[in-house]
Amino acid sequence: MEDAVHNDLRDLKDDYKSIVVPLIEEYPYIFKEGDFSFDLFCRISTLISSRAFEVDAFHENAMVPFADIFNHRSGDEHVHFVTDFDVCDACGELEYCEHQYLEYLEQGSDAGDDDDQWSDMEDDEKMSQASGISLKSEDENVDEEDDEEDDEGPLQDLEELEDAQVNFWKKDEEKEKAEEEEKKDTCDMILEQDIKKGEEIFNTYGQHPNIVLLSKYGFCQDNNENDYISVGQDTVYTACVEAVLDGMVGDKKVPKHDQDELIEEAMERVQERFGYYLTNEHIFCPKPDDDDDEEEDGCCADGCCDGEDHEHGDDEDGCCGGDHDYDHEHGHNHDHHGDDEDEDEEGEEDEDDDEEEEGGKPQPYFANVEGLYEDTVMLLLHVVFVNDRTFGKFKEDIGEALAYFERLAEESQKGDKKSRKNTEHLRTKKLVYTVCKRLSELRRKDYLDDKDQWTPIEKDIESRNKITNKRHYYALTCRISEKKIIEKSIEYYDSRVKSCDTEAVEAKTRKKQKN
């Protein structure tokens, strides 16, 4: 949370320096420094960013009167903000306009195959309407004019019409009114469900976690299904090295010099497998904007791989936790190399990848509101902990890795009795779950009090109920929500570790009985 706030403040300072300060220096007689302070700039920016709506391609983000009067409620809101986004980005016209017509002329209307002939003719008709040019022959136009004159019949005497006090402008006024009503240059608040008398009407600001609601809008809520916790990639790497080292050492006492060698060996092992996974991550877990063929081959199309007890229908976004990104909404780019969580709501993931390749901070990994880690974490851990023979197959043929992940997905959804008999697979799963539990335990340390004690959530809630300061109240709400996720995560992965132990004992028993 602190990182997100510091990043926003840094962005505001950058914007103030690049936008406001030059104006004050160049036009001091108009923009007096005392009237345009940084504090005022922050207040106004906060007001606009928390109330602006994305209107369309022409207006982009804008203040919309009355649209901002509704408070937020996620999942059971009454109204939705609806606009036509695809308008001309030069003039804002929804229908065809002169800009689109000029663009059409530049591109040319006679290019295309026979298959496109009919669509070209439709385009010609639409464009001719926009420009006022008729594609019909002169003879056709003359015939139509004659037909119109015949339909009108003989003209009435003008003096008789005046004596009858006929309003000559009435039809024109009605026509203009009808045309005005047909205009679609509006933003609409659409009612999605019935509202009882006296009931507050709610809108939704989006599927945001509490950290975004708090930093962007100044409030957050209990039981937010979009909440998550994050762990850094370095933390995942360290936890993997510790797990590998524990497997090497076991209960044996190892001399100090031997320990150093084992640590180095464990680090090399994990580093090689980390590198393999990260190099091929775009194939294993393709992003929505990746090629369709990669997405079909990738494991994430089948959902999460973190355990056979996870119900896929429970979570809308699988185990990935849904929307982790948060958009800094004004149109400037700000690079943050020091934050653990790169918050961007509308798809800044590509920039994050570029930062990582150029030596920026490694990406964070997430656990959703149920405490389950996302697919990328689970697959990475499986790559780290599969036996050497299986990893060797992965390196020789990436299809082997994809097939392995496919089996994990099927096991997660349907269950697989064969895998429970496979002691090697049980060992791998246990290590994966052990590291997941360890990651949540490490995250738990960030929430200890001054005496390194974990305050029970019930006490946090009691303390919050006594708070009158809204900032303090919502900050504690955000903290409580994240602590709940940590507790759920530790409890879940602890149960999975114990389940693996039970299955391993049962497998040994069955083997003895066979012998």
454-508, pLDDT tens digit by residue?
A: 999 999 999 999 999 999 999 999 999 999 999 999 999 999 999 999 988 887 8
Q: Mean pLDDT over residues 2-27, rounded?
A: 89
DSSP β-ladder status, 60-62 and 188-191: unpaired
Q: Which H or E element spans position 457?
A: helix 457-465
pLDDT of residue 402: 95
Does residue 247 carry a pLDDT above 50? yes
Does residue 146 carry a pLDDT above 50? yes
Q: Is the distance from CB of 496 to CB of 239 less than 8 angstroms?
A: no
Residue predicted with more confidence, 73 or 170: 73
Residue predicted with more confidence, 49 or 438: 438
pLDDT of residue 385: 96
Does residue 137 carry a pLDDT above 60? no
Distance of CA 495 to the CA centre of its chain: 30
pLDDT of residue 376: 94
pLDDT of residue 318: 37
pLDDT of residue 322: 36
Q: Read out DSSP for 145-179?
A: HHHHHHHH-SPPPHHHHHHTT--TTHHHHHHHHHH
Model confidence band, residue 270 (pLDDT cutoffs 50, 70, 90) = very high
Beta bridge partners, 54, equal 61
Model confidence band, residue 277 (pLDDT cutoffs 50, 70, 90) = very high
H-type helices in 73-116, by residue range? 98-107
Model confidence band, residue 20 (pLDDT cutoffs 50, 70, 90) = very high
Model confidence band, residue 196 (pLDDT cutoffs 50, 70, 90) = very high
Residue predicted with more confidence, 21 or 317: 21
Give percent of the chain with pLDDT exceeding 70. Answer: 68
Tokens of 253: 């006492």
pLDDT of residue 336: 53
Give percent of the chain with pLDDT exceeding 90. Answer: 41
pLDDT of residue 361: 66
Model confidence band, residue 325 (pLDDT cutoffs 50, 70, 90) = very low
Q: Is the distance from CB of 371 to CB of 489 less than 8 angstroms?
A: yes
Does residue 178 carry a pLDDT above 70? no
Domains delineated in the chain: 2-91+186-210 (3.90.1410.10), 98-182 (no CATH), 211-510 (no CATH)
Which of 266, 248, 301, 234 has the alpha carbon at shortest distance from 384?
266
Whole-Å CA distances, 126 to 97, 99, 112, 121, 134:
10, 14, 17, 9, 10
Q: What is the widest separation between alpha-carbon atoms in the chain? A: 119
Digit-coded pLDDT (tens) for 338-351 = 444 444 443 344 44
Does residue 301 carry a pLDDT above 80? no
Q: Mean pLDDT over residues 375-390, rounded?
A: 96
Q: Which pTM does this prediction carry?
A: 0.69
Q: Mean pLDDT over residues 291-308, rounded?
A: 42
Which of 131, 122, 76 has the alpha carbon at shortest distance from 102?
131
pLDDT of residue 183: 59
pLDDT of residue 74: 81
Digit-coded pLDDT (tens) for 397-450 = 999 999 999 998 888 777 656 555 678 889 999 999 999 999 999 999 999 999
Residue predicted with more confidence, 367 or 335: 367
